[in-house]
Structures are given as C-alpha cells and as structure tokens.
Structure 1
Amino acid sequence: MKNTRPPESQHDPLLDPIGVIGSGIAGLITTFILLQDGFQNVEVLTRESSVGGVWSEERIYPGLQLNSVHGEFRFSALPMRQPDEAANTGGRLSGEDVRNYLEEFAERFLKDKIRFETEVLNIRRGDHGKGWKVLVRDRRANTEKVSHYSRIVLCTGGCSRPHYPELAFTAKAAGFSGPVVHSMHFKSRIDDLLQCTVPVDTHPVQGAPIVVIGGGKSAQDSAAFLAREGRPVMMIFDTTDAILASTIPWPPYIRRSRFLSIMSPHKKLRTRLERFLHTTCLGAVIVYYFWKALEKYSFYVLGVPRDSPLRRTHSLFWNTRTNDEGVFRDGNFHALAISGKISLVAPARVAKFGDDGHSVVLEDGRVFPAAAVILATGYESTWRSIFDDVTREQIGLGRHPPDSQRYRWDYASLAHPPVLPGGEQWVASIYRGLVPAKNILNRDFAINGAVFSAHSAYVCEVSAHWISAYFRRDALRVPQSVGAALDAAEHDGAWVRRRYPYTLNWVDESQTSSVAFWTWPQLVDELLEDMGVRAMRSGGNWLTWPFKVVDLDEISSLKEERDAKRRGNDP
C-alpha cells in the first residue's frame, strides 16, 4: 500500500449527491462529517419517524441502559450532560439519555437533512455503472420512488432486522394463544405483554409466566422490566452474556483508558508492553489471570451463587458478548434473578410450542406453561434484503468462510483457545470494515457502523472522517488494487476467527465486518495513520500511557488537521 494522492478529477465531487442509509449513531456522525468537509448535497434516509436507530423513540423501552463506556456515548462536536441518575448508577447512561442526545445532535447540526419514514427497498448500480439507484417507499403515503446518488454510505447497523427462528413460524400452526414478540418490538408490545398476565402479588394463584427465550442483553432487559412490573417471568437460555461489575464505579483511568485494550491482543502489536503481554509466557499468564479474576470478581459483586445458571456465561476473554453492569443496583436483572423474581432454566433450548396452546416444549422434553413468548434471538444482516444477488456480487458484499490457513498469530496469550463450535462461520471482504474490498477503487460506496467495538461513538466518528477522506480522494493509505484490498480483508477475517472463535457463528456481516471489541483504540490508531494524522492521542509517557483517559475531545480538531494535510502543511 502506498500513501499517494490520486489524480484529481475535473468534476467537483463536493457537489455530488450522497445518500446515507440509516439515522443511528453511524448515520448521524457520517452525515455531519461529510457536511463539515464540504459535501453540499448529503441526505439521510431512515424508515423510523425519529433519529437514533436502536436508540430511536420507537425502540427505547423503560429501564434500558447503555452497555458501553460510561458517559462517553457522544460526539466531539457536542458535549453530553451527566445522566439524571448518575449518583445512583455510577454514571450509567439510560436509553432516554442517549435518545435525547442524538435528537439534540440532529436538531442542531442536521436539520432538513433527514428523510423520515423512508424505507430503503433496494440499492443497485445506476445506468452505465455510474452512481446508485435507490428504491424507497414513503411509509406515510405508501408510495415508491427511485432516488439517485453518486455515493452511498451504508449505516444500517446490525440490529435493524430481527432474526426469527423457525420456532416463531410455528406458533400459529400450533395454536399458541399468547403473544409472540421479538425483543426488537418489545416497547410497542409492552401493553399486550402486561395484559396477558396479572401481577403475582395481587392474585392468590400465579398464572403462566411470560417466557423469554435467549440469554443476551435484550433478554435480560425484557425479563427485568416485566419482573419489576410484578409479572411472572421465565428465561430459558443455553449461555448468557459475560459480565463486568464493580463495588464502586471504576475510575476513568481504568474504564476509559487503554488499559483493557492492551490486556487484549490486537492483530498488530504496536508497543513493547503489548508484545510482552501477548508473546511471552509470563505475559500470557498475567493476561489469563487478569481476565479470570475480573470474571470472578464480577460474580462476587453481583452476588451470583456458585450453582446459579447465571454463571453459564460466555468467556470474557474469548468472546464479544459482554455486558457492563457497573455497580450493583437493586432491581437490575441479576438482583431480580437471584431473588427468584425471574425464573431461570438453563442450559436449555426451546424446541416447539405445546399442543395445548399454552406452553413451550424443550429439546429434552420438559414442558413449561407460557402466557406469552419473547424471542430475544438476535438479528440478521440488513444487507441481504436491500441488495439483489447481482449488486452484492458487483460491490463485493457476499459472504464466504474465513481463510484462516494463510495467516498465523503465534501469540502466547492465544495459545489455548476454546474448541471451535460447530456450525458455519462467515466473513465479508470489507476493507477496514469500511469499504467492500472489491469496490475499493471506485470510491463511491462505504460502510459505517459495522465495526464491532466497545466504544462505537468514538470509532464511528473517526471512521466518518476516513470515509470523507476516501470520497474526497485525499491522500489516504489504502490498497492500490482490488487484490491487495481483498488480501487485507481476508487477513482481518482470519484474525477475527483466531481471536474470537465463537463470534462468527452468531454475528452477521452488517454488524461485524471488523471486530475490535476491547482493542478499539488500536483500530482507531490505524485509521488515523491511514489519514496521515497523529495517532495514540491520549498521550502519556512510557509509564503512564496505558492509563491516560481516551476522550472524544482528542479528535475535535481532526477536520482542521486533515485540512492542513490537504493543503500540504503539517497539522
């Protein structure tokens, strides 16, 4: 790869129309950066009636709390005020906090740039292979039209299209009488769920519970809300998410620094400390016991008994399914489950609905009554529904098994991986998680929000700058051929399979085209270096740098630095 400036076209790309698909955090910050960078015709398309994506008004349910770096789910252009309940929650952000912030951001910076209730039905190449035709449906008028764009940024995320297991399609045939609701639609169906049961403390005979299928965060949130409403709840799962918890809020120099990131190996070890921790036997022992101690400490803080099904969690080190619980709080999921207000059945899987129309049957033959069923069964790729096979092939959005035989990482910290589970594993060839490798030379299509990290707001903002530089044809370190881009993408896919063996069995490509869960600071450094600007911005000396707080304000001047770079001056 060469750091060269492509020859400038006579046509001014800043005048071309750009379509941003999705109004979640990735769509909002991408649109903002494109406008700040001089693109004059940028439009956001969203099927929702408000901004936010998964944090939109339609999807924020009572009790939802952010599972991310505390108090840092924001962009550099707009500060975020402390949560209303900061003193009681250790600074945790609620769904309402995030929704209000994103709505304020859109109102202040993106007014009249968003087309609400506009559902994207299909995206395909324009005539003669130029630009893009986007078929949309106006949900209010129920009409369809084709919009034309020179460039597209896909920001649909990985939690926009619910995954329904085969079980969901058998409810009607089995005569199941209660509601069957995917967790994505939990807010809109709350009244139906509450009405199908009665509070346990107001009725002498407890009725059938609401059964929640799944062990992830949405399953826990749904179960906890219903339990707080006094409803009988049962959660059936095989394995639940790993957890982080502490007796007091962790200080910023732990929670918001590079400390956790350097305790997790990255595909490229940049510093001596990282190389010591992950390539030496002593370092690997330190890493192993650190993550095991963190896991045990979290169970202790939350008071999880040794024989509790809640200890059937994914690995904190080998998986990305981790919930940051913060400090212990009465009324949270774990407190309710430990006290018996949420019944737990695990390890178990639901096989079918019972013939009586009021129960579910497990794979082992056990039968449990059910007044309603909540399917917390995850999501599937949004890309498959809006691109036909021809377009997916043209762009390079297809899926394939990871080629893990060509690449090796002989890290001591990865010496004893868990046994790979059965089932198919897939990756998509997306360079840096931002551009389909096959389309990289066209500079007319990008993706934001498909990099899975523990600090999505920071990563999305830096990614938006990278995408804008890519569209502007700025000096940018990118592969100079499709073959080189495909090879780099294959390298990333093989790394994900090596680092997180379970992840490729349950995620979809529109959620995790690249995975840098704990190591998001290292990923950001790579993107900054691609743009030719300063990396490792949190600073510090040889002793203090792992504990320096990584803050959004570090990148508030990134546009000015890129402008200076474009003019040929050092930023």
Structure 2
Amino acid sequence: MTDPRVGLVGIIGAGAAGLITGHVLLKDGFKVELLTRDKSPGGVWAAKRVYPGLSINNVHGEFRFSALPMPPPAHARETGGRLSGFDMQLYMEKFADTFLNDSIRYGVEVEDISLDTENQGYVVTVTDLRTGELETLRYRRIVLCSGGCSNPHVPSKLSVTTANKAGFLGHVIHSQQFGERIDEILAACEGATGCAVVVGGGKSAQDIAAYLANQGKKVGMVFESTDAILAYPIPLPDFIRRSRVLGIMSPSPYLRSRLERFLHQTWLGSKIVRGFWATLTAFSFRALGIPSNSPLRRAQDLFWSIRTNDEGVGGRERFHALVNNGKIDLIAPARAVSFGSDGRSIILNDGRVLPADAVIMATGYQSSWTKLFNDRTMDDIGLARHPPGGIETQIDVWKCASLTTPPASHDAGEQWASSLFRGIAPVKNLVKRDFAVNGAIFTANNGYVFESCAHWISSYFLGDQMRLPCPENAMAITDKNAAWMRKRHPDMLLWANESYAASISFWNWPQAMDELLDDIGVASVRSGGNWLTWPFKVIDPTELSTLSEERHAKRCKM
C-alpha cells in the first residue's frame, strides 16, 4: 500500500490557518509547501496589512496555537487582554520562523489551480511577483487556506476607476490597503479643512476611524448599520470569557448535554437564554456610554448575528469613547453612492454631500476562491455553491424554543451555501482524500478551530479510520448544516462569502470542535470538569498539544 505521505502538499496561503495546517502536516510526516503573495507570514496579520490601532476580538490566550506560547499584550490588565494587530503579526512571524522556516514561498501569486489530468494531484500556476514570470507547480494534495479577507469588495460606484472617471482628486483605498498607505491618507487630510470618510460600520471601519481621530484628523463614518458589540465595565473572568458558557447559551445543532437541551428546547430555558443575551447587549451599550439616540444603536442583534465586536472594557482612545467626545462624526443611516462633481466630495443616497480628501472603503471582502479556480474546476472538485434543497421543510429536530421570533429575513432561496463537509472537505471529492480547506469556518475562536481542523485534515489525508460518511450521506449532512445556518443566523449567507463562512460555528465553536474530534476518534470536551463545573472550565489551546500523538497511537492499534 502506497504511503499517503508520498508527494508534496501545497498549502495556499500563509495566514493563521495555513501556518497551523503546515505545522501539523509536517509533524505527521508530510512534505509541505506554503504559497503566499505576501513578503511575510500572517495573512490578514502580515506586516503590510497591520496598522496602529488595529485590534482583534480575541483576548490573550485564545488566538494562538498549542505549540507556541504567546506573551501577554501590553496594558493587558486595562484592556482585558485585548490583542493588537502588531501582537498577532509578531506571533505569526515567530510561529513561521520556528516551525516552517524552509517551507514557505513568499511573493508568489496563485493564478490558477486545476486537476492534474496526467497524474494524480493538482497543477498550480503561479506568478513570481519579483520577476513577473509564470511557473507551474505540481502537488499531490492541496489545502486551501486563502481565507475570506484576501480579495477586497468595493461597490463599483465607489471604485478607484469610477473615482478617476468622476475626477475625484482625493485618495480612494480599501481598508486592506490602509497599513501600506497610511502616510498618504494622513498627508491628504492635513490642515483645518482636510477630511477622511470611512465607508462601512464594521470593526475595520471603527479601528481606522479611531486611528485617524487620534491623529487629530477630521473623520466621518458612513454606514447603514453597525456590528453588535460585547463590552463590560471590568474584564470578564476567564471562567466566562474563555469557557463554554457563551457557547452553551447559543443554540447548536448538536445540543450534546442536558443543560443545552433544557436551555434551548424548553420555554423556561429559552427565556433564560434570550434574557441573557438581551442583558449582555444592554450592559454593553451602558459600559461604552452609547446614548439611546446614537446611530450605534443601529447594531446587529448580539444573539442572531455573527457580525459582533468584542470591545472589552473600552478606553479613552478607542472608537466609542472618541465618538462620545465628538472626535468622529457618524453619518447614519446612510449609504455612499457616488463621487461629487467638485472632485472633493462624495454623495449619499439621501442627497447629502460630504467633503472628502480621502475615502477608505471598509466594505468587506469577496470570496478568494473565484480567482483561483475556473468554473469547471470548481465543479469538478466540488467547491461550487449550491441552492437550498428544501430540507428545512423535511426536518423538525431544530424546534428550538430559543430560536422563536427571529428577525425579518430575506427569501431563504437566495441563500446558497458551499458543499464542504464539516466546512472542510468538498463532498464531491470526499473519497479521494486529497483536497481540503482550513479557515472557512466562521468562528469566534480561530486559533482553537484552525488547529482542530488541521488535525482533522491530517487524519483525512493519512487515510485514518474516521467517522466519515459516504458522499450521499455527507451531502445530506452538509445540506442540513446549511439549513441550520439559515435558521440560526438569518441572512448571514447573503453577505458572508463562502471562503470564510462555508460553515458557521460562532459562539458555539466548542460544540462544533467536539464533533470534529469525535470524527477522528480522540477525546472531546478536553477542558474536563464534572457535571457541575464543565461549563466553566477554561478552554485553552494547550488541550490540543498531544493530538498528533493520540492520533498516531490510534493508528498503530488498527
């Protein structure tokens, strides 16, 4: 029997998902090569993308991997352990230098991935960004770790091309470019009349607006709605913030415990759950001092949405404090629709004209997969999205009392989903065990999830005995998961692209990872505890440090 580790594994992307996947596969004996267009590792946390004021929603101890400790961030006590973009950049660089120093090719743009029709495996065409030359690479297996924040989405009416045609004299950039062009933006907004306009209401929009305001620049933020927030007057203790408490209070398709079934399937439990999230929302608004008439109250619902920012305890130089002090002008609800004829303004959908010397588009991202595959390859591998199969009308296992009275939703028929089993392996390609995705699960704890997925992928590639259904049953499970996403997070599939939302395990990521660990036959619920304490046991990535050895021991017994 041929050793499954024969041949090179190509990993597309050197962000967090790519790095941990490369490390796990190397530890299991595979040869790997990571490809990235950047000059340094980290993906969204690469050196050219981070900027002062950029922060993440995770606290210290969450977004890291078991093999490498992370030092506490500066001012951890005051911020509740908030991590900055620079904290993440340094950690990703150290992880790459420690474990993957000779396995990453920097400065190569992946142009196309296709099946190798002559040999088993895949053909990857890349451009060397230093020389401009095309190169053809061949891999026995592929792990797609390109993420959902690679290809900026900019409305065509506000693109650089449209701005140039309209004679706009200022700078127009996407938020992804802010770190590289920060000096240009600051220079453009010099003087008493200089003004920047940030388009969008999400986390990156808020971080950029806060940075510009702290630099003394006049800044306005245009949005229709903003993200939900989680904030508190003092840092939450680890037994709440880094445990299963928030996951248990969020309904899951698994409901593995009696406590979860009580909370989400009974009338009394549902009242407790919805009251819990409503109280968190009220406390969050109060902790950040958001007035009742503020446009920031036009936020996503904390219970229903995955557009959530964990602001911690806030701070004088943070976004909400700057808004309260009049340092950031909120223009909402409104939508930017065009550039003004004077070359120094943008026009809103209600006819208002805003002066603008720089426009920063914090308008999200589109799928990274469409640039890497043609339609035929997408279909051959099984990456293409598919419409709902009407499964919602055929099942009743999700009659969760906690999911009654959902917000108004669009037609579910518009909400197509990916065809990835567990958000990892294309169903159509399942039996070949030569293609997987890491980083396509939308979650509140990327470090733990990416590392768990990396082990699932390694077992999958090794041909280990797993809880792996036949393709027909796998598709039924995948359709069921898509139906769950439409029910649990209404309309999220309309804006969250599939390259980072093939599956959604937001607050309930612990339950989803338990399912993955069960798939590969190792112990789940690894944080331990007894019948009373298990919800409050801190979940730490070090729980995963022995997974390779556990999987190896299981393999040797077969």
1:141 to 117, 131, 142: 131
Distance 2:529 2:4 in 1: 40
**One-letter identity of the residue aligned with 2:179:** K
Partner of 2:45: 55
Q: Residues 486-497 of structure 1 correspond to what in structure 2 (within 5 A)?
A: 486-497=475-486
* Contact 1:407–1:494 under 8 Å retained in 2: no
Deviation at 1:208, TM superposition (A): 4.7
**1:97-118 deviations in whole A, cap 9, x for unaligned?**
1111111111111111000001
Q: Secondary structure at the match of 2:259?
A: helix
**One-letter identity of the residue aligned with 1:229:** Q
* Contact 2:249–2:263 under 8 Å retained in 1: yes
Q: Secondary structure at the match of 1:220?
A: helix
Q: Residues 291-370 of structure 1 correspond to what in structure 2 (within 5 A)?
A: 291-370=277-356
Partner of 1:125: 115
Deviation at 1:65, TM superposition (A): 1.3
1:102 to 67, 77, 92: 92
* Contact 1:249–1:326 under 8 Å retained in 2: yes
* Contact 2:153–2:365 under 8 Å retained in 1: yes
Q: Residues 528-567 of structure 1 correspond to what in structure 2 (within 5 A)?
A: 528-567=517-556
Distance 1:22 1:402 in 2: 30
Partner of 2:167: 175
RMSD of equivalent CA atoms:
1.3
- 1:459 to 2:444 alignment: no
Deviation at 1:14, TM superposition (A): 1.3
Deviation at 1:50, TM superposition (A): 0.2
Distance 1:283 1:70 in 2: 31
Partner of 1:3: none
- 1:14 to 2:5 alignment: yes
Q: Secondary structure at the match of 1:474?
A: coil
Distance 1:466 1:387 in 2: 24
Distance 2:314 2:453 in 1: 34
**One-letter identity of the residue aligned with 1:529:** D
**1:337-369 deviations in whole A, cap 9, x for unaligned?**
111110001111111111221111111112111
User: Unpaired segments of 5 or more residues in structure 2?
Assistant: none
Distance 2:485 2:260 in 1: 18
1:112 to 78, 102, 106: 102
2:177 to 161, 180, 185: 185
Distance 1:400 1:567 in 2: 39
Deviation at 1:130, TM superposition (A): 2.1
Deviation at 1:128, TM superposition (A): 3.8
Partner of 1:215: 201
2:393 to 405, 409, 424: 405
Q: Pick closer, same or farther for the CA change 1:341–1:526 going to 2, 3 Å.
A: same
Deviates more, 1:560-569 or 1:186-195: 560-569
Distance 1:412 1:248 in 2: 32
Partner of 1:156: 146
* Contact 1:71–1:92 under 8 Å retained in 2: no
Q: Secondary structure at the match of 1:305?
A: coil
Distance 2:299 2:107 in 1: 38
Q: Residues 164-313 of structure 1 correspond to what in structure 2 (within 5 A)?
A: 164-169=154-159, 170-198=162-190, 206-313=192-299
**One-letter identity of the residue aligned with 1:82:** P
Percent identity, aligned pairs only, is: 54
| TM-score normalised by L of structure 2 | 0.97
* Contact 1:71–1:93 under 8 Å retained in 2: no
**1:455-502 deviations in whole A, cap 9, x for unaligned?**
01101101000000000000111112x211211111111110000002
Q: Secondary structure at the match of 2:366?
A: coil
Q: Residues 385-404 of structure 1 correspond to what in structure 2 (within 5 A)?
A: 385-403=371-389, 404=392
Distance 1:337 1:505 in 2: 30
* Contact 1:66–1:92 under 8 Å retained in 2: yes
**One-letter identity of the residue aligned with 1:120:** V
* Contact 1:212–1:373 under 8 Å retained in 2: yes
* Contact 2:59–2:83 under 8 Å retained in 1: no
User: Unpaired segments of 5 or more residues in structure 1?
Assistant: 1-9, 200-205
**1:229-263 deviations in whole A, cap 9, x for unaligned?**
00000000000011111111111000000000000
* Contact 1:402–1:497 under 8 Å retained in 2: no
Q: Residues 76-91 of structure 1 correspond to what in structure 2 (within 5 A)?
A: 76-91=66-81
Deviation at 1:401, TM superposition (A): 2.6
Distance 1:84 1:301 in 2: 22
* Contact 2:423–2:437 under 8 Å retained in 1: yes
**One-letter identity of the residue aligned with 2:167:** G
Distance 1:231 1:101 in 2: 31
Length, aligned pairs only: 552
* Contact 2:61–2:540 under 8 Å retained in 1: no
| TM-score normalised by L of structure 1 | 0.95
Deviates more, 1:138-147 or 1:362-371: 362-371
Distance 1:470 1:345 in 2: 50
Deviation at 1:129, TM superposition (A): 6.5
* Contact 2:188–2:194 under 8 Å retained in 1: no
Deviation at 1:51, TM superposition (A): 0.2
